[in-house]
């Protein structure tokens, strides 16, 4: 099992090549969560995630012969970029196997670091099997995403920084993929400050660590699709599981709706971009999954990564605005004759709602042939504003339906 001595050695080894990321107090999230919330911003690493720590340590430990052989890794994104970047930095050939469904932004980013990209299969497991095949065929050194002592020790260096940045912390909350990140940090916390309560956060669709702890060993979780793709691992690691048994106090789960809400809140309130896996711990805090917190409790929440496609962000923002009542679609049925649209829009303008889109529906409307349905997509101030707007339109005789 990895020791704190290994983590301390890793810190010295990677110090010049890995960023010391900030861990500021967030007043907006402290108010929302009812505790003093600090964010460890690992999304500010060169490749956008904590994975850089483990990869830098692993590469530093490669022998000259291993460097000459080249490396291979399997990843859906963040580990791929970390391996590719460190390989490029050290002049080592890297082959990265990624699932065919990996986010395009992560594939492009990995390729920019000079790695040879192989797209294979529909899941991480398919990519993993292919990477192992290439390891045997070409004699590459396989760089595991989490189940490797050097990787775990490298990831654990984040905890050493946290203890210096927030020495009086009481709770650490971080996401769980294969367990290398939180496993390494939990080891440090329980050895150097055992009073810290360590909370792991999993996607509710991939509770692989909880299942492994309950079963007494790693078990395979059924495949699924989740916004938190960075922690969509179907099986806990053989090396990380003992660290969780020994050092992690509790595991909670979050669903995609909660993660999406956290991504939007981080953007809007904290001015921080996080991917699904990086926002999962914030989701757990926002939705009060972590119990026993008080306004004085010092919490460090790890934002593990920020590599998210801008198209996904756009969809999250749009859905978030609808959920918060700041965007709404109202359908108004009126006689199909000149001036009716102007009347509806005048009523909307009087209530100070902003019109984003107008669509007429005639052909697919049931009822009187002479009617039309006007679908209005509106920007509003919130749920109360929507109610006021609906009442105003109804008072003018319009039949209004909220979509």
371-379/354-361 β-pairing? antiparallel
Q: Side by side, which strands form the sheet with 171-175?
A: 25-26, 36-41, 298-303, 171-175, 197-203, 250-254
- Percentage helix, strand, coil for the chain under 3-state DSSP, each rounded to 5: 45, 20, 35
Q: What's the Cα-to-Cα distance from 326 to each of 221, 283, 356, 383, rounded to whole Å?
A: 38, 21, 12, 7
Q: What is the dihedral of CA 132, 136, 141, 142, to 10 degrees?
A: 10
Taking residue 38's Cβ as centre, other Cβ atoms within 10 Å add up to 23
Q: Please calculate the CA angle 160-164-170 and round it to the nearest 5 degrees.
A: 85
**Three-state secondary-structure class, residue 273:** coil
Q: What's the Cα-to-Cα distance from 367 to each of 316, 344, 362, 364, rounded to whole Å?
A: 36, 20, 10, 10
Cα distance between residue 16 and residue 154, in whole Å = 13
User: b vs e for 160-194, b when ≥16 Cβ sit within 10 Å of the residue's Cβ?
Assistant: bbbbebbeebbbbbbbbbbbbbbbbbbbbbbeebe
Tallying the residues shown for the chain, one arrives at 403
51-60 helix and 149-165 helix, angle to the nearest 10 degrees: 130
Residue 208 falls in the annotated catalytic set: no
Cα distance between residue 332 and residue 125, in whole Å = 50
Residue 304 falls in the annotated catalytic set: yes
Q: Which of the following is catalytic: 40, 49, 51, 265?
A: 51
Q: Which of the following is catalytic: 75, 175, 265, 304?
A: 304
Cα distance between residue 165 and residue 188, in whole Å = 14
Q: Side by side, which strands form the sheet with 354-361?
A: 354-361, 371-379, 327-335, 399-402
Residues belonging to the active site = 51, 304
């Amino acid at each position: 099992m990895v020791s704190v001595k290994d983590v301390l050695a890793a810190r010295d080894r990677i110090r010049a090549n890995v960023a010391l990321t900030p861990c500021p107090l967030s007043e907006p999230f402290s108010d929302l969560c009812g505790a003093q919330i600090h964010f460890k911003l690992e999304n500010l690493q060169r490749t956008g995630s904590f994975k850089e720590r483990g990869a830098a340590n692993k590469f530093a430990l490669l022998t000259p012969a291993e460097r000459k052989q080249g490396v291979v890794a399997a990843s859906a994104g963040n580990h791929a970029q970390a391996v590719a970047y460190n390989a490029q930095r050290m002049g080592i050939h890297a082959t990265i196997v990624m699932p065919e469904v990996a986010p395009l932004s992560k594939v492009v980013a990995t390729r920019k670091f000079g790695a040879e990209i192989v797209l294979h299969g529909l899941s991480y497991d398919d990519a993993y099997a292919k990477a192992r095949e290439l390891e045997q065929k070409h004699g590459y050194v396989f760089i595991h995403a989490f189940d490797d002592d050097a990787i775990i020790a490298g990831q654990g260096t984040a905890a050493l920084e946290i203890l210096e940045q927030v020495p009086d912390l009481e709770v650490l909350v971080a996401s769980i993929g294969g367990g290398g990140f939180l496993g390494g940090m939990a080891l440090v916390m329980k050895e150097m400050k055992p009073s810290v309560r360590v909370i792991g956060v999993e996607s509710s669709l991939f509770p692989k660590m909880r299942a492994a702890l309950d079963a007494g060993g790693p078990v395979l979780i059924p495949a699924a699709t989740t916004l938190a793709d960075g922690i969509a691992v179907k099986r806990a690691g053989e090396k990380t599981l003992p660290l969780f048994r020994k050092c992690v106090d509790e595991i909670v789960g979050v669903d995609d709706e909660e993660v999406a809400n956290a991504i939007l809140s981080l953007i809007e309130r904290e001015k921080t971009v996080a991917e699904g896996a990086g926002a999962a711990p914030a989701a757990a805090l926002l939705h009060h999954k972590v119990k026993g917190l008080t306004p004085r409790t010092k919490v460090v929440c790890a934002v593990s990564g920020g590599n998210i496609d801008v198209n996904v962000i756009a969809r999250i923002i749009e859905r978030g605005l609808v959920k918060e009542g700041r965007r709404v679609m109202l359908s108004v049925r009126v006689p199909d004759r000149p001036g009716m649209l102007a009347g509806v829009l005048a009523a909307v303008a009087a209530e100070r709602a902003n019109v984003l889109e107008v669509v007429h529906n005639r052909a697919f409307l049931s009822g009187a042939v002479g009617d039309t349905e006007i679908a209005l997509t509106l920007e509003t101030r919130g749920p109360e504003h929507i109610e006021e707007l609906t009442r105003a339109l109804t008072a003018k005789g319009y039949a209004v339906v909220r979509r």
